[in-house]
Each structure stands twice: as structure tokens, then as C-alpha cells.
Amino acid sequence: MSHQDKAMDVESLQKSGRRRGSCLDVFLVVSIMFLLVAVTALAGGGVMVVMNLRSELVTPRISSDSKTSELIGDQPDSAYKTQNFAYLEATSSTLQTSTMQLAPVDYAAGKSVGSKFEFDKDTHWLKAKQVGTYFIYINLNLTCNYQCNAGLLSVSLGDKLTCEVELPVHADTTPVSRKCWTVSWLDGQKLLTQMTVPKGDLQNWRLELQSSGIGMFLVD
């Protein structure tokens, strides 16, 4: 009789262990599913933030009156938006290691540098007058004149943003584009745009002026 009781106790313990193991498996599965849902939600939120920021970017090139509304908009707060926005367009297509040559874009109602920014046309630095967080971006668009070599082009806006373009071996005029952006705190720095080119490697490449430049706007 004692032997039978022991056998029943062992069997009960085995069943109990299996039940506990089954519960643990269910708990682990539910926990993993919860983590996946949480990560997906966070990723989705991050994408929405980035998309909202990117939607604030205005078309950088203003070539006619019909495009003015893309920069200043038709909303009552358009003056607020323009004073907090700055865009500078490249004025030289030559790729060389030097300070990048930039200039504001003229349009019907004024220039593409808002009143809360200062730009020095001689030394080509840009400064945000108001301390705060800014969305900063660089647009680069390049084409090959004829039989271009591969190489790395680098453009830096002060110490806030560096945009690198891996240019391939090219024998046609298919453009190569690169867009880089960041969100950074500015407190009155004069930001120079520096271009760095491998010596002699990119001489047949050229920068497309109307679609290359730098910009920023106040986020907070």
C-alpha cells in the first residue's frame, strides 16, 4: 500500500510539473507577444515624428512666383514660418576641398533666409539668432560630365551634420542624390559649410546648383 502511495505521489508531482511547465510556456509566449507589440508601437511613433518633421521641409528651390506658396504657404501664420526658416543654395558646381559657396534664393516676397537667421555672403556662414532646437538638412545632387571616377564626397555643416556621398564609377549623366538631416541644439554658432573631396578623383563630377544646398528651421 505504501508503495502504491509513493507511486501516486510521484505521478502527481509529474503532472503538477507538467502543468507548471505549460503555464510557464504560455507566460513566455504572452510576454514575447507583448514586447513585440510595444516595440512596433514605439517604432511607429518614431516614424510618425520623423515624418512630421520632414513634412515641415519646404521645397528649397524657388524659381518662379508660382512656387512661392511652397515656401511661405497661404496660412495666416506664414510670416512666422518664414522667419524661422533658412535655405541656402549652392552657387558653384565645382567639387573641391573648400568652404562651400552658398547664397539665399530670391523669390517674389523676399529671400529664403528668415529674419531669425543671419548669413554672411562673404564668408558664407549661417547663424541662427534664436537659441533652440533646429531641424538641419543637406541636399546634394551630382551628375557626371564624362567618365567619372568613384570617390567619397563629404559636406559638413559646422560640427552639427556631415553628409557623405559614395560616388560610383560613372559614364553617363544619371544623377546621384543624397539627403542628410539631423535635429540639433543651436545657441548662436556661426556654421560654415565645408566640402571635402579626394585629391584629383572627382574632377569630372559636378554639383547641380538648383537642387543642392543646406537648410534649417526652428523646431522648439
What does each C-alpha distance from 33 to 24, 40, 160, 190 come to in angstroms? 14, 11, 39, 49
pLDDT at 20: 53
Cβ proximity of 199 and 149 under 8 Å: no
pLDDT at 170: 81
pTM for this structure? 0.65
pLDDT at 61: 43
Q: Identify the residue whose cell numbers are 543642392.
A: 212
Report helix, strand or coil for 29: helix
**Each residue's pLDDT expressed in tens, for the chain with a length of 220 residues:** 554 454 455 455 455 555 555 555 555 555 566 555 554 544 444 434 444 444 444 444 443 333 334 443 444 455 556 889 999 999 999 999 999 999 999 877 678 999 999 999 999 999 999 999 999 999 999 999 888 889 999 999 999 999 999 999 887 778 999 999 999 999 999 999 999 998 767 888 999 998 999 999 999 7
Of 165, 141, 160, 155, which Cα lies nearest the Cα of 193? Answer: 155
Of 114, 108, 142, 141, which Cα lies nearest the Cα of 127? Answer: 114
How far is CA 136 from its chain centroid? 8
Cβ proximity of 205 and 145 under 8 Å: yes
